[in-house]
Structure 1
Amino acid sequence: MTQMTTLSPTSLSLARLLDAFSAFIDLAAGFGADLRGRLTRGAAVRVVEGEAGVFTLALPDGTAAFRLDHAAAPLLPEVAAALKGREVELALDSGRFLFRPLELPRGAAAFLDGIVRSQIDRLTPWSAAEAAYGFTPPEDAPDDRLALTVAATARARISPLIDRLKAQGAGAIRVTTQPDGMGAPIRVLDHAASGAASGVAGVRRVLLAVLGGAAGAALLALVVSGLVGGSLDAELDDITQRIAAQRRAMVAARDGQGGAGGQLAALERRKREAPATVLVLEALSQVLPDDTYVTELQMEGDKVEVAGVSREAAALVRLLEQSRQFAEATFVAPTTRAAGEAGERFHISARILLPMEAMR
């Protein structure tokens, strides 16, 4: 009988958290290893394929020609020395590749890598796993579309060349091609250096050590804060008691039991008599027509000034006067019409009847 084990929601959440943390560490380690590699290795060298499969490499004292197929003779010592530990750009002849145009909607610009990968088996005889491919930078096309050119070839056709360069001690290898009539080369494959995995592992160990030290420091800070927390709690209790005493004094003053009772009563009376901004906004929304937009609202005492845009600005004064919430409405400035706007700009002043007079 097979016994099934059911994980609790807490265990599942912890597992997801650990997976996310591990993925973050791997990403950071890869970035750090790549940065360290770029800083430590020398300048890249360019190996260019010419006619009949002959490759050339620029050397300080001239240009060396050689072949990279498995049956070829060993490379010249100066060529092997120039390749060892260096980043290599392997510029292959365009005859090794298929070139296919591709048009996409403009909104696909942020997802070109995934879209091209999904289209490889339709554009070429190979699947995405079997092909080495790349594409040109997208260009604007009619009907709000993007146009680009995809270059692809079978990985099996270029793997022997990469293996030969690796055998000579080359570092990272970038495979490109440049079809006739196109400006920038198309990158079709990136091969990491042989020591990249160990470099990532080393950076990962350093990151884990740093994070472990930070966790230890945080734990120490937590212990110290717990020791100091007793005195802080006492101070907090004292402050709470002072606030409560002040609140009791204010309540007593509001009820007329203290010297400040008159001032608080005056403030309460002013709050009840002054029109609330929310009520004024609600009244304006009921009075103004739907084609009117308020862009500015100023209140001072029982006066309100409203500015905005309306299809019939001249009718707004009449609407405000007819309402039970406003009176003495008048234009503060002449109405104007700006280019490209569907209505007239207005600036109107009125007296507010809220909340007392409107309730009579």
Structure 2
Amino acid sequence: MTQMTTHSPASAFSLARFLDAFSTFIDLAAGFVAGLRGRLARGAPARMVEGEGGVFTLALPDGTARLRLDDPTPFPPEIAAALNGREVELALDPARFLFRPLELPRGAAAFLDGIVRSQIDRLTPWSATEAAYGFTAPQEAPDDRLALTVAATARARLSPLVERLKAQGVGAILVTTQADGMGAPIRVLDHAASGAASGAAGVRRILLAVLGGAAGAALLALAVSGLVGGSLDADLDDIAQRIATQRRAMVAARDGQGGAGALLAALERRKREVPASVLVLEALSQVLPDDTYVTELQMEGDRVEVTGVSREAAALIRLLEQSRQFAEATFVAPTTRAPGEAGERFQISARVLLPMEVAR
């Protein structure tokens, strides 16, 4: 019986949407990087301001120059050198444009580009594809609305000016205009140079190569991680088995089974019969007074020998005997007093009581 495999339309649609979104992201990132690189390479834009009679004024390092863009003759050398490879802002006379006010609800602030584009054929004699247009920053208006001004002209009227500058090798062209009483200039057209598109394509290729390399490195790391992880899991299982074996051996020894039973029993017996030195030291610190200093401590079996200095060495025997940790306290050597010392040197031996003896 033949089995047929079908793909879910929803999964195919999701994959197509993901690929489209990824391609859009790469294009935006490439355009941004290419534009930023171009601006850094070109430096500050050159500004050409249109005056009366279509004459443009251009600021140069050693003064200003006046020229006409409808003149087919080549630019003078100093102007051509100043514009070559640079971004040019073409500030056109507002008489070239139609200015139309537009009021929108306040909620439309996030969608101004699309809304203005859809209103161009209503506000102007041209469609959105035929017009070069821009608008001012929206201002607060009564009744919870926004007010802005749209500036538009036929794209065909700007093409000769743009082509004239392109022929001179400018880097990019930004067309603006500014009517009387308006704030910042209105951006009407932003024309990237031909090198910008190729630059964006090159950056796009680089980004795709970097992402492809990162994806390959991630797959390689995943494969290596799988191999190393499998080896580590095997080592971990081996260690767990060894621990379990040792635990079983210890349990058997504790229960008197196996060859290690006698050794473990001897260790436990020694632990019960021989006092721990740490516990003996703690017991001495509780019994001896504050003016007594221990300089040497020796333990052998259940006997402890303490050497030190005390203001009243004779009283130490009584204190040790009265405690519940020591018994059979006696001086091993006579007490002495050295010149310049505030107490007597002593050497006392006592038997340490085991926990079972203390419990009695």
TM-score (norm 1): 0.61
Report the alpha carbon displacement of residue 183 of structure 1 after superposing the two structures with TM.
2.3
1:53 corresponds in structure 2 to 54
2:89 aligned counterpart, secondary structure: strand
Measured in 1, the distance between the counterparts of 2:144 and 2:15 equals 46
2:140 aligned counterpart, secondary structure: strand
1:163 corresponds in structure 2 to 163
Superposed counterparts of 1:259-274, under 5 Å: none
Q: How has the CA–CA distance of structure 1 residues 84 and 7 changed in structure 2, closer, same or farther, with 3 Å as cutoff?
A: farther
2:134 aligned counterpart, secondary structure: strand
2:194 aligned counterpart, secondary structure: coil
2:32 corresponds in structure 1 to 31
What's the C-alpha RMSD, in Å, of the aligned pairs?
A: 2.3
Q: How has the CA–CA distance of structure 1 residues 12 and 186 changed in structure 2, closer, same or farther, with 3 Å as cutoff?
A: closer
Q: Give the fraction of aligned pairs with identical amino acids, expressed as a percent.
A: 82
Match of 2:83, as an amino acid?
L
1:205 aligned counterpart, secondary structure: helix
Write the deviation string for residues 6-52 of structure 1: whole angstroms up to 9, x where unpaired: 97645555444433332222222111111111221121100011101
Measured in 1, the distance between the counterparts of 2:237 and 2:115 equals 59
Measured in 2, the distance between the counterparts of 1:212 and 1:236 equals 37
Structure 2 residue 128 is matched with structure 1 residue 121? no
Q: How has the CA–CA distance of structure 1 residues 103 and 62 changed in structure 2, closer, same or farther, with 3 Å as cutoff?
A: same
2:143 corresponds in structure 1 to 143
1:133 corresponds in structure 2 to 133
2:207 aligned counterpart, secondary structure: helix
1:206 corresponds in structure 2 to 206
Measured in 1, the distance between the counterparts of 2:164 and 2:54 equals 14
Measured in 2, the distance between the counterparts of 1:135 and 1:186 equals 6
1:101 corresponds in structure 2 to 101
Report the alpha carbon displacement of residue 232 of structure 1 after superposing the two structures with TM.
4.5
Report the alpha carbon displacement of residue 90 of structure 1 after superposing the two structures with TM.
0.1
Q: How has the CA–CA distance of structure 1 residues 103 and 18 changed in structure 2, closer, same or farther, with 3 Å as cutoff?
A: closer
Match of 1:33, as an amino acid?
A
Report the alpha carbon displacement of residue 231 of structure 1 after superposing the two structures with TM.
4.2
2:312 corresponds in structure 1 to none
Match of 1:55, as an amino acid?
F
Match of 1:225, as an amino acid?
S
Match of 2:153, as an amino acid?
T
Match of 2:215, as an amino acid?
A
Measured in 2, the distance between the counterparts of 1:102 and 1:121 equals 13
Measured in 1, the distance between the counterparts of 2:32 and 2:74 equals 35
Write the deviation string for residues 152-174 of structure 1: whole angstroms up to 9, x where unpaired: 00001111000000000111110
Write the deviation string for residues 92-142 of structure 1: whole angstroms up to 9, x where unpaired: 000000001111111111111111111110000000100011111111111
Measured in 2, the distance between the counterparts of 1:54 and 1:102 equals 31
Q: How has the CA–CA distance of structure 1 residues 14 and 137 changed in structure 2, closer, same or farther, with 3 Å as cutoff?
A: closer
Superposed counterparts of 1:187-336, under 5 Å: 187-234=187-234, 235=236
Measured in 2, the distance between the counterparts of 1:90 and 1:236 equals 75
Measured in 2, the distance between the counterparts of 1:50 and 1:189 equals 19
1:190 aligned counterpart, secondary structure: strand
1:55 aligned counterpart, secondary structure: strand
Measured in 2, the distance between the counterparts of 1:75 and 1:231 equals 74
TM-score (norm 2): 0.61
Write the deviation string for residues 281-329 of structure 1: whole angstroms up to 9, x where unpaired: xxxxxxxxxxxxxxxxxxxxxxxxxxxxxxxxxxxxxxxxxxxxxxxxx
Between the two proteins, the alignment pairs up a number of residues equal to: 235
Report the alpha carbon displacement of residue 213 of structure 1 after superposing the two structures with TM.
1.5
Measured in 2, the distance between the counterparts of 1:12 and 1:128 equals 31
1:183 aligned counterpart, secondary structure: coil
Report the alpha carbon displacement of residue 236 of structure 1 after superposing the two structures with TM.
7.8
1:64 corresponds in structure 2 to 65
Which structure would you say has the larger Rg?
Answer: 2
Provide structure 2 residue ranges, at least 5 long, that are not aligned to the other structure.
1-5, 245-360
